[in-house]
């Protein structure tokens, strides 16, 4: 897998296709493989240059001990964009990946042509989601891990989860797989490196991305939330406060639409990216008109 | 394109999996062995596997299509036999479909 060095940080990426730049950002505790399992890359690569990468601490990328806020990650993304010579890109961010894309849009708006936020939870909008710590997806996970003899508590606590699953026995893997399926096992199997970092804490830090700053985004945004998303209030906030926000839902999904409703998810992302591209494309203009305009401008 | 046989592909895939960097799997790898469930691979390892297969067997293989099929099928895991069948489809079928003469 190709990689780039970003100020000493090794970051792995994949790139395919030709056309306007699209960057796919995975969520906290995931990696770029999630995009391959959904089949989204070949679909988009027919008309976009699609870049996927492993966020720091994730997948094959380096795992520094600190620096896991959305601001840190936005810095990595800016350096990656420079290293790969990306133009203003359409960002597709799942969950925390959407927060990273939004943070970059706030810091360096010229790099971001549009954002599709896929079921993102924003630390800067935490007060809208008082039940976040008790989301159903965590409760279900905690119940199964408890059966496997692993106590991660009833409230969202990634530090505890990362430590608990660092050394799964074959028996524990078997219980988890039977109850939650193979994707859960291959997800948990890769979390050990993050346990030794500040990631579990940092990912919930607003890091300067306040509600006001989120609301001030000017570029087109699609709030693509799951039908049964735990973050409906966040979706409503985006719809009501952003200057240019389209809301759409993925039927049947709870937070992991790529796994829960892959075909519906891919079709919607492709549709919205095509709409972005159509809006930002240079209007057709005949050469003679260009010359006339240039001439009139000179006069 | 190539002269791969089904037997060679199958043998080489098993060898690649048993010598995967950083992994040990003491039991026999068969067509029914599952990439994640049995071999204990992480999701990112599927990406590495795709690249290893391209390097070993040569050429560009649409491995991501196989991964997407795995998700779409609902099984959510990748059996060694599926990897072999995928390679047979792309390596041997391509060979037979190549233009004859000039």
pLDDT at B54: 92
Contact A43, A270 (CB under 8 A): yes
Contact B1, B98 (CB under 8 A): yes
Upper half-sphere CA count for residue A19 (Cβ side, 13 Å): 20
Tell me how many residue pairs between chain A and chain B have CB atoms under 8 A apart: 75
Task: Tell me if residue A6 falls in helix, strand or coil.
Answer: strand
Q: Which two tokens stand for residue A28?
A: 């906290």
User: Which residues of B are less than 8 Å from A259 in CB distance?
Assistant: 71
Total-model pTM: 0.87
pLDDT at B72: 78
pLDDT at A177: 86
CATH topology of domain A3-131+200-280: Rossmann fold (3.40.50)
Distances in whole angstroms, Cα of residue B83 to Cα of each of A108, A218, B67: 43, 46, 10
Quick one: average pLDDT of A167-193? 86
- Cβ-nearest to B44 among A41, A190, A263: A190
Quick one: average pLDDT of B18-42? 84
Scanning A27-135, the segments in alpha helix (DSSP H) are 33-38, 40-44, 70-83, 96-107
Position A134 confidence tier, pLDDT thresholds 50, 70, 90 = confident
* Residue of chain B nearest A41, judged by CA positions: B64
What does the angle CA B34 – CA B38 – CA B42 come to, to the nearest 5 degrees? Answer: 85
Closest Cα of chain B to A145: distance in Å?
17
Q: Phi and psi for A220 in degrees, rounded to 5?
A: -60, 135
Distances in whole angstroms, Cα of residue B30 to Cα of each of A179, A292, B33, B69: 24, 71, 5, 21
Strands A9-16 and A49-53: antiparallel
Position A235 confidence tier, pLDDT thresholds 50, 70, 90 = very high
* Residue of chain B nearest A186, judged by CA positions: B42
Residue A52 burial by CB count (10 A; 0-12/13-18/19+): exposed, middle or buried? buried
Interface test with B, best of A182, A190, A194 (most B CBs within 10 A): A182
Distances in whole angstroms, Cα of residue B101 to Cα of each of A56, B3, B16, B98: 51, 17, 35, 9
The answer on pLDDT for A285 being more than 70 is no
Which domains can be identified in chain B, with CATH numbers?
A: 6-97 (1.10.1200.10)
- Each residue's pLDDT tens digit, B60-92: 888 888 888 887 777 778 999 999 999 999 998
The answer on pLDDT for A208 being more than 50 is yes
pLDDT at A284: 56
pLDDT at A126: 96
Contact B15, B25 (CB under 8 A): no
Interface test with A, best of B23, B44, B63 (most A CBs within 10 A): B44
* Contact between chains at B64 and A54 (C-beta distance less than 8 A): no
Q: Among A63-77, A105-119, B10-24, name the one with the lowest average pLDDT.
A: B10-24
Closest Cα of chain A to B42: distance in Å?
5
Q: Residue ranges of the domains in chain A?
A: 3-131+200-280, 132-197
Secondary structure letter of residue A58 according to DSSP: S
Most confident of A153-157, A180-184, B1-5, B8-12: B8-12
The answer on pLDDT for A295 being more than 50 is no
User: Which residues of A are less than 8 Å from B40 in CB distance?
Assistant: 173, 189
* Contact between chains at A37 and B72 (C-beta distance less than 8 A): no
Q: Which two tokens stand for residue A266?
A: 């891919």
User: Which residues of A are less than 8 Å from B51 in CB distance?
Assistant: 1
Which H or E element spans position A142? helix A136-147
pLDDT at A167: 82
Quote the longest CA-to-CA distance of chain A.
Answer: 81
pLDDT at A192: 85
Task: Tell me if residue A271 falls in helix, strand or coil.
Answer: helix
The answer on pLDDT for A48 being more than 90 is yes
Report the complex ipTM: 0.73
Closest Cα of chain A to B77: distance in Å?
6
Mean pLDDT of chain A: 91
User: Which residues of B are less than 8 Å from A34 in CB distance?
Assistant: 43
Distance CA A254, CA A264 (A): 13
The answer on pLDDT for B100 being more than 80 is no
* Contact between chains at B42 and A189 (C-beta distance less than 8 A): yes
Helices B80-87 + B63-73 axis angle, to 10: 140
* Contact between chains at A37 and B37 (C-beta distance less than 8 A): no
């Amino acid at each position: 897998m190709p990689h780039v060095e970003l100020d000493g940080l090794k970051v792995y990426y994949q790139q395919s296709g030709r056309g306007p730049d699209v960057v796919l950002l995975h969520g906290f505790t995931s990696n770029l493989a999630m995009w391959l399992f959904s089949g989204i890359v070949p679909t988009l690569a027919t008309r976009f240059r699609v870049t996927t990468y492993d966020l720091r601490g994730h997948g094959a990328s380096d795992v520094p001990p600190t620096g896991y806020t959305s601001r840190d990650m936005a810095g990595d993304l800016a350096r990656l964009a420079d290293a790969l010579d990306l133009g203003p890109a359409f960002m597709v961010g799942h969950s925390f990946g959407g927060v990273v894309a939004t943070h970059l849009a706030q810091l360096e708006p010229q790099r971001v042509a549009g954002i599709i936020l896929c079921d993102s939870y924003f630390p800067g909008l935490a007060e809208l989601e008082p039940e976040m710590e008790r989301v159903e997806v965590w409760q279900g996970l905690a119940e199964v891990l408890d059966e496997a003899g692993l106590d991660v508590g009833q409230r969202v606590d990634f530090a505890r989860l990362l430590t608990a699953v660092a050394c799964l026995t074959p028996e524990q893997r078997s219980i988890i797989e039977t109850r939650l399926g193979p994707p859960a096992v291959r997800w948990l199997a890769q979390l050990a490196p993050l346990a030794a970092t500040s990631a579990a804490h940092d990912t919930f830090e607003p890091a300067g991305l306040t509600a006001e700053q989120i609301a001030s985004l000017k570029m087109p945004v699609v709030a693509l939330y799951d039908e049964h998303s735990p973050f409906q209030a966040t979706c409503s906030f985006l719809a009501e406060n952003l200057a240019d926000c389209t809301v759409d839902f993925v039927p049947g999904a709870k937070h992991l639409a790529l796994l829960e409703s892959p075909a519906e998810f891919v079709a919607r992302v492709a549709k919205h990216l095509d709409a972005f591209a159509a809006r930002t494309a240079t209007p057709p203009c005949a050469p003679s008109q260009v010359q006339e305009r240039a001439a009139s401008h000179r006069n | 394109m190539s002269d791969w046989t089904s037997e060679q592909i199958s043998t080489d895939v098993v060898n690649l999996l048993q010598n995967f960097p950083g992994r040990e799997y003491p039991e026999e790898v068969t067509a029914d062995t599952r990439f994640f469930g049995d071999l204990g691979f992480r999701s990112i390892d599927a990406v590495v596997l795709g690249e290893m297969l391209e390097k070993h067997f040569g050429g560009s293989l649409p491995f991501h299509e196989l991964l997407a099929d795995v998700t779409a099928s609902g099984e959510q895991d990748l059996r060694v036999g599926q990897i072999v069948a995928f390679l047979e489809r792309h390596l041997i079928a391509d060979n037979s479909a190549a233009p004859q003469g000039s």
